[in-house]
Structure 1
């Protein structure tokens, strides 16, 4: 039986999502917690967003396959549902910087990674007053930034493109993505906040998308410069990969239940611009 898990974490104490020998990761902690509550070996987890070390998540989603009888036994003698019992028990054994929000039996065809239609990230950048209480999720920048220039440059990157200039290449993987939204605003505290939404992201893509517009905000590069880098389709050392702690996975969206399997099959196909 497939189970969906909605969760969040403070990435400061984790070496990213993926389990790695000798390192504390989100996957290893969450998998170990599931093994404890189900009284089984730690199960394999699949997530919608494999975040890097130091990156936070507020709206992360994962799935695992479990024995239905073990899942139904979670409430014990209480009158709670297995879903509610799972949340309580998991949070009882998980560390405070990793919390489960909801657990539910997944509909047919659900895949946390491949069924997703979009991921939404935020990035926080303070070019003035940097609240020390928010230092764990906000990057402090010494130079003043023109948010309107950054917003215009960011908007020019939206669409179906080859984002090779902003990704670390992996053998056999495509860098073609659909960037659905990329904009910049200032919040009430004067902090610059980016909203970045795409159907999927490749490794380091969001932090590079932020890094390519920062020189525009400083006035060192023209507003069309990020578009030129995109068109070059080549990794460039001039593009900053911004610090991880300003980045947060805010939300993962999925289609209607009857479209989950179709979406998963589409996502597994390797895309090109010719397609």
Structure 2
């Protein structure tokens, strides 16, 4: 049987998603595979919709795994969660066809970046939000961000360590809004490059602070030069909200297009 899981985690205590070997630092994948293997009484490996970096969180990461163990979805959900550290839980489990892939069946991924914008650093929720002391014009950031929409080469916003074979991605939606002292950036694309969201945010912050004009984002995109763009925003403000799949896979509504 193949199963899909919705996994929620606080990435602050992990060195990212990807397992780094039996003696490696703690990762979300390693913790999840240990818990699944314990419930199944057999070795289990998982494939995720999109790997996250150290310190990045997930509201609903989707993974799939195969097992011959006979367990119902409730047993997988509760049994695995009971064996996970407090920073990780399984929200749901759904049997899926063997053709389903958490990675390749996804048609889009959605992220949110949230930061506190005030003079004083945050004390509450600091593990889930970044901090920017410079006053930000969220409306200017939103206008500038619209230049990124569509299928483009995002070389200006990928890390030099990115292993993707090319930098073309279809950015379907991006929005910036202010809610009191909080500024939120949400972005959706068919797929993302390594550090792409955090690099976009870092450049938008320069626009929001008035250090660069609104059309600078369009110039960066056209120039395809990472060295000219803004710094990489800190990881703790970033949450992988969800991947999105066609309805025929029968997954929960929150991850269905």
Q: TM-score normalised to the size of structure 1?
A: 0.86
| Structure 1 residue 234 displacement after superposition | 2.2
Match of 2:77 among 80, 87, 105: 87
Among residues 131, 134, 148, which one is paired with 1:143 in the alignment? 134
Partner of 2:125: 134
* Residues matched between the structures, number: 247
Which sections of structure 2, spanning at least 5 residues, go unmatched? Answer: 252-257
With over 3 angstroms needed to count, the CA separation of the structure-2 counterparts of 1:183 and 1:8, relative to structure 1, is same
Listed one character per residue, the Cα deviations across residues 209-245 of structure 1 (whole Å, up to 9, x for unaligned) are 1011111111110000011010011222542110000
CA distances 1:55-110 after superposition (whole Å, capped 9, x unpaired): 0000110011111xx1x2x3xxxxxxx00111110111111100000011113521
Residue of structure 2 equivalent to 1:271: none
Q: Aligned ranges for residues 37-76 of structure 1 at < 5 Å?
A: 37-41=39-43, 43-67=44-68, 70=69, 72=70, 74=71
User: What's the counterpart of residue 201 of structure 1?
Assistant: 192
Once the two structures are superposed, the pairs formed by residues 91-110 of structure 1 within 5 Å of their partners are: 91-110=81-100
Residue from 210, 217, 235 that aligns with 1:219:
210
CA distance in 2, matches of 1:58, 1:108: 25
Give distance in 1, aligned partners of 2:8 and 2:163: 30
Q: Distance in 1 between matches of 2:227 and 2:102?
A: 32
Alignment match, 1:229: 220
SS in 2 for 1:132: coil
Q: Which residue of 1 aligns with 2:255?
A: none
1:16 and 2:16 matched? yes
Q: Does the CA contact (< 8 Å) of 1:18 and 1:25 recur in 2?
A: yes
Aligned counterparts of 2:91 and 2:167: Cα–Cα separation in 1: 32
Q: Do structure 1's residue 123 and structure 2's residue 125 form an aligned pair? A: no
Does 2:144 align with 1:153?
yes
Work out whether 1:177 is the aligned partner of 2:169. Answer: yes
Cα RMSD for the two superposed structures: 1.7
Q: Which runs of 5+ in 1 are unaligned?
A: 75-81, 261-275
Q: Greater Rg, structure 1 or structure 2? A: 1
- For the residues of structure 2 that align with 1:161 and 1:51, how far apart are their CA atoms? 22
Find the aligned partners of 1:195 and 1:23 in 2 and give their Cα distance: 30
Q: 1:91 to 1:164 in 2, by over 3 A?
A: same
Q: Distance in 1 between the 2:164 and 2:56 partners?
A: 25
1:235/1:131 CA distance change after superposition, 3 Å: closer
The Cα shift of 1:45 comes to: 1.0
Closer, same or farther: CA 171–104 of 1 in aligned 2, 3 Å: closer
